[in-house]
Amino acid sequence: MNNNDKLKAYIRTFNNDQLAGIGTNRTEVNSAGRTRLEEITKALGGDPEQITGSAVANRVNINPPASNGNSLQDAFKVFQDALTSQGQPTIDEDQIMDIVKDAFKTDVQPTIDDLTDKVDALSPLADTLKDIADAMKTTAGNRLPLATSVASGKNPLLEVIAPYYIAGDANPTKVCISAPPSYGKSYSIALLGQSYDTFITHGCSDDMDEWSDLLGECKPKAEGGFIITDGKLAQAMRSASEGKNTLFFMDEVFRLSPKVMEKMLDFLAPQADASGVKKYKLTTKQNANGVLEVLEADMDKLHIVCATNLCEVVPPEAFRSRFLFKHIRFDVAMIKHIAESVADKYSITDADKLGTAFATAMAKSREMHSTGQLLSPLDVRHLEAGCIHANDATAEGVAKWVADEALDSLLMWNSDNGDIIEDSVNGVKEIQSILAGV
């Protein structure tokens, strides 16, 4: 959890009325930057430095030897700040060296025993700093948030995907993960995307202009004339061709029209160059002197992952064969973990209780949907909305919001007169009673 998240977690402990009293609301808090979050925290009586400082201490969980004074504390603060910085953290080794050297300075001539004591005390710090510096110089540093998410055990989908995707490693395998609607597919892959330099998402459709959305198109400029823009696929290829570790995510890939799937076939099969090295190749709509541009990207720089709901559309076998499919079945225990992960993201108290109740309610709603009692089942997006809009950041508050505000979308209606069907209302009441048990 970074410093912004810590400030948000503190602010979410106040209810909507308290936030309104200082001229803000939960929607602003969720999108606020560091400066605004500090202003809100101070208005609520909190100390931003104390809150973020305690967050660093809790997360890093390393204590320097107290006997060596402020110099060692300064050294630890350097790498603590690097670990909690935005983006890829870095370590200034020269700065660390100056601080460590300063730790040996003294106003009197030190004895051999004094120096020995200082060397012994500094040894664990030096090893720790070296390990951190080495990690930050490699792609291993990019994997830290991902490893944390997998190790938590609260994102089973990520556990399925992660072994096939290590930024910077050659990866000919393209995983397509399928799961019931709103099962956390996009959320999980977005976490994976954090370990790459570039993460690009394309929401697939059967629109007639879909290929242009992927490849690029010619558009008029406000000042006159035209410009050729890159589509999402061309953007991903351009990033990878520049040597950046790039993850291209095609969401709801089964929605692509057969025509677009055919166009994608050649691209999804890397081609050998003159040296026999297989590369992704894409002819864009950019041109120089009438010659269309061809982008090339190494397989270690461009990784492709897909997600889909299983529906009535069955893609051609040639298209399906380009992917390694991982079908995720509905499982109450898995939904419980996913719900806990979402609740933790928003710093909701008693996430385990909320996860259990939500998973039970979602399973029941799926049963009712399959029998026609409900129009659609409960899904994870309802839970996330509850975490954002609930009156307080407690499991009870979130469950109450979902029960009171989010379930109208589950109701069936009479298509002749538009009245809600009573049996559907009774189904929603049963779902509400399960959520009330938090």
Q: What is the pLDDT of residue 207?
A: 87
Q: What is the pLDDT of residue 209?
A: 83
Number of Cβ within a 10 Å radius of residue 430? 13
Specify which residues 394 forms β-bridges with. 349
Which class would CATH give 143-327? alpha beta
pLDDT digits (tens, 9 = 90+) for 392-405: 999 999 999 999 99
pLDDT at 13: 85
DSSP letters of 118-129?
Answer: HHHHHHHHHHHH
Angle at 392 between CA 387 and CA 393, to 5 degrees: 55
- What global pTM score does this model have? 0.63
Do the beta carbons of residue 238 and residue 308 sit within 8 Å? no
Would you write out the chain's pLDDT as a tens digit for each of its 438 residues? 677 878 888 888 888 888 888 988 887 887 788 888 889 999 998 988 888 874 333 333 334 444 444 555 555 555 555 554 444 445 555 555 565 555 555 555 555 566 566 556 556 556 655 555 555 444 555 555 555 555 455 677 888 888 899 888 888 899 999 987 767 788 889 888 988 999 999 999 988 889 988 998 888 888 888 888 899 999 999 999 999 999 999 999 989 988 899 989 989 988 888 888 889 999 998 887 778 889 999 999 999 999 998 777 778 889 989 999 999 888 899 899 889 988 988 999 999 999 999 999 999 999 999 999 999 999 888 999 999 999 999 999 999 999 999 999 999 999 899 999 999 999 999 999 999 988
Location of each CATH 3.40.50.300 domain in the chain: 143-327
Q: How far is C-alpha 329 from the geometric centre of its chain's CA atoms?
A: 22
State residue 248's pLDDT score: 97
Residue from 373, 365, 374, 383 nearest 433 by CA: 365
pLDDT at 54: 47
Q: Which amino acid is at 344?
A: D
Side by side, the strands of the sheet bearing 175-178 are 198-203, 246-251, 302-308, 175-178, 324-327
Asked whether the beta carbons of 27 and 402 are under 8 A apart, the reply is: no
Helices (H), ranges, 182-331: 185-193, 210-215, 232-241, 258-268, 317-320
